[in-house]
Amino acid sequence: MTASPDLGTPAATPSGVVPTSIPAPAPVPLPAPPVPPAVTAPFDPTAFRAVFRRHAAGVAVITAAGARPAGFTATSLTSVSADPPLLSFGISSTGSAWRTIADAGHVGVHILGEHQEEVAATFARSGADRFAPPTAWGPGPYGVPLLEDVQAWLVARVLARIPAGDHRIVVAQAVAGAPGGEAARPLLYHHGRYNALRH
């Protein structure tokens, strides 16, 4: 059988040279990446707050000793590290408790149960005497005011106070603490009000 002229060795060019490779096609240019839209105005703080109203958070009370005991309700408590045991929370730099916590060497951290909505409301209320009855509390390690009947508590040594907008981020290392008695469901804050965990 005679081989087809279209198969086998490539045909010679008019100059008599047999090509040894096929030239690569010219590269196709890629489209330029999209340019992100320019930010023309700062993000609306109202929208920012509305987003976080949809974020359910646990409720804690932070306390500190001073000329008078101080405390406030926090939904920003975070476990930062297990070794060493570090935690953080945010506090408004214009809040009444900041003046005491700004100078405190130690703070108390209290995790609230669903039965303590009134405690959370008291420590969030502006101008309230937060440690007056019916608030039940006593001095704990390092003189830190400790609330009674909480889910769990910690005493932590303050390591840093970091400016962050209109707040300060406080980083502290736990030096004492324990869970409370029988575990109850936690108190949550969601959409501007206190809630209990539902199963």
149/56 Cα distance (integer angstroms) = 23
What are the tens digits of pLDDT across the range 34-45?
777 666 678 888
Confidence of residue 62 (pLDDT cuts 50, 70, 90): very high
Domains of the chain: 45-193 (2.30.110.10)
Residue 124 pLDDT > 60? yes
Counting every residue, how long is the chain? 199
Give the phi and the psi of residue 143 in degrees, each rounded to 5: 75, 10
Q: Which two tokens stand for residue 70?
A: 């101080």
The label of the residue with tokens 């949809």 reads 54
At 21 the pLDDT is 58
Between strands 60-64 and 137-139, the pairing is unpaired
pLDDT tens string 135-194: 999 999 999 999 999 999 999 999 999 999 999 999 999 999 998 766 678 999 888 888
The CA distance from 149 to 151, in Å, is 7
DSSP SS3 for 186: strand
Provide the whole-model pTM: 0.75
Q: Look at residue 125 and tell me whether its pLDDT is greater than 80.
A: yes
**Mean pLDDT value of segment 54-62:** 90
Share of the chain above pLDDT 70, in %: 83
- What pLDDT, on a 0 to 100 scale, did the predictor assign at position 37? 67
Beta strands (DSSP E) in the chain are 57-58, 60-64, 70-74, 78-82, 85-92, 106-111, 137-139, 145-147, 152-164, 167-179, 187-190, 193-196
Model pLDDT for residues 148-160, shown as the tens digit of each residue = 999 999 999 999 9
pLDDT score for 38: 66
Instruction: Answer yes or no: are the C-beta atoms of 59 and 76 closer than 8 Å.
Output: no
Confidence of residue 14 (pLDDT cuts 50, 70, 90): low
